[in-house]
Amino acid sequence: MNSEKNMKLRLRFERFSSKTAEEIKAGFEHVRQSESDNFKLNNAGNHIWLGIGMLRREFWSPTLHIELDKYEDGRTHVKGTFGPDPILWFVFLGLHCIVAALFIIFGIIAYSKWMLEQSPRFDIIVMFVLVNIWFLLYFMARYNRKKGARQMDELLNLSEQLI
């Protein structure tokens, strides 16, 4: 998976495995017990979350969410999604919502001032700054993903071994 040339911020993959979902989950349980310092594993039903262990975790460390779908012939459809730490992702999305709300508010104010034949210059400048903040957030996310690419490859290799 070439993470550098992919435009998506949250990389995804899909695979079919000849193993059953129970065999895959058992493999992850074995890794949880044997490599508890290197990787953090959680599971709930047919969902598995892989992360980097606390001793090696950085601000940009990725997580891998794996969803297992069972088929009647015994195969398992495995869907994986890489992303940042859930708390970091929540803050990131919260910042986007705040910037969007401010953009809309200042857009309404600028339109109202324009209709009242007042100068909307300040409001338009603020809207321009908010657009630049959106771009800054995007490039920060790309930069953090680039810094976490090595750890993303580790998580992918671990999941490939078990799938």
What pLDDT, on a 0 to 100 scale, did the predictor assign at position 36? 66
Which amino acid is present at 31? V
Evaluate if residue 132 carries a pLDDT over 90. yes
What pLDDT, on a 0 to 100 scale, did the predictor assign at position 35? 67
CA separation for the pair 116, 133 (Å, rounded): 29
Token pair, residue 91, equals 């803050």
Evaluate if residue 113 carries a pLDDT over 80. yes
Token pair, residue 143, equals 């930069």
Give Cβ neighbours of residue 61 (< 8 Å, ≥ 6 apart). Answer: 51, 52, 84, 85, 148, 151
pLDDT, tens digit (0-9, with 9 covering 90-100), for 20-74? 778 888 888 777 777 667 778 888 888 888 888 777 777 778 888 888 888 777 7
Summary mean pLDDT of the chain: 83
Confidence of residue 7 (pLDDT cuts 50, 70, 90): very low
Percent of the chain with pLDDT over 90: 27
Higher-confidence residue of 147 and 101: namely 101
